[in-house]
Amino acid sequence: MKKNGILAFTAMSTFISGFILYNVQASSLFKNETAQTAAQTAAQTAVRSATSNSMNKENRILEGKTIVIDAGHGGKDVGATGQTGIHEKDLTVQTALNIKQELAEKTGANIVLTREQDEFLTLAERVEIAENHAADLFISIHFDAFTSNDVAGITTYYNKPADRQLATMIHDKIFEQNIDTRDRGVSQGDYFVLRENKNPSLLLELGYISNQADEQRIQTQDFQNKAAAAITEGIISYLI
């Protein structure tokens, strides 16, 4: 929609709702922090193509949305084990906590982690958490392993065809961060937490802990920051 269309729509929305919904400047959209109204929802749709700068300046942009971040494995289920002995379950929860922090700061969304401690959860319990919170999005965090230590890279999985676009958006954002590992692309995967999930969902394999370079990279603050930033940007692009 052209800018003057947005302005006209803004004026109309303001008139209908009886108060100023938001500043018309593209750099300060969605200032209003009241419960989301139908007019606001429509307005968000209208400005979907607004500049990404406006997203950076707006830290309440996903207020009212619920995002469930699932730290894979936990407790007796250690997941994969790296060459240095590190367990996947410990990396997933650390990564999930970083994503939670970034999402909370940048979007104002309601962020639910399936676990924040080293505890065992069944796959069904993880899906149940998404359902109980009526999640707008469910993202499961994992790290891969393979018998050959040469295999490296990041893969994004979806199950339902409707979630392919979501998976592609987030995957592309990750590789926009110049992460120096192989881009293994977006694939359809028959994972329980995706297949049984009624909510939009994807599963990220954020590197191979069986590969020395990946294993080291995953544990750096630089990678953790880039991953959290990319996933947050992808979620904003998808949900707004």
User: Side-chain half-sphere of 172: how many Cα atoms within 13 Å?
Assistant: 10
How far apart are CB 72 and Zn ion at their closest, in Å? 4
CB of 179 to Zn ion, least distance (A): 19
Residue with tokens 């120096």: 180
Out of 142, 173, 217, 226, point to the residue binding Zn ion (CB under 5 A): 142
> Which residue's Cβ has the minimum distance to Zn ion?
142
Q: Which residue has the tokens 């969605």?
A: 30
Residue among 47 and 141 whose Cβ is closer to Zn ion: 141
Specify the residue for token string 């590190």: 86
- Binding segment toward Zn ion, per CB under 5 A, in 42-50, 68-76, 109-117, 217-225: 68-76
Q: Is 4 exposed, middle or buried (0-12, 13-18, 19+ CB in 10 A)?
A: exposed
Q: By CB under 5 A, name the one of 13, 21, 55, 72 that touches Zn ion.
A: 72
Strand 154-158 with 201-208, pairing: antiparallel
Nearest to 232 by CA among 127, 126, 104, 138: 104
**Residue 205 appears among annotated catalytic residues:** yes
Residue with Cβ nearer Zn ion (32 or 210):
210
Residue 99 C-beta: closest distance to Zn ion, Å: 16
Told to check if 79 binds Zn ion by CB under 5 A, we report yes
Q: Distance of CA 195 to CAs 14, 153, 188, 210, Å?
A: 42, 24, 10, 26
Of the residues 58, 63, 205, 215, only one is catalytic, namely 205
Q: Which stretch binds Zn ion (CB under 5 A): 23-31, 51-59, 137-145, 174-182?
A: 137-145
Residues that bind Zn ion (CB under 5 A): 72, 79, 142
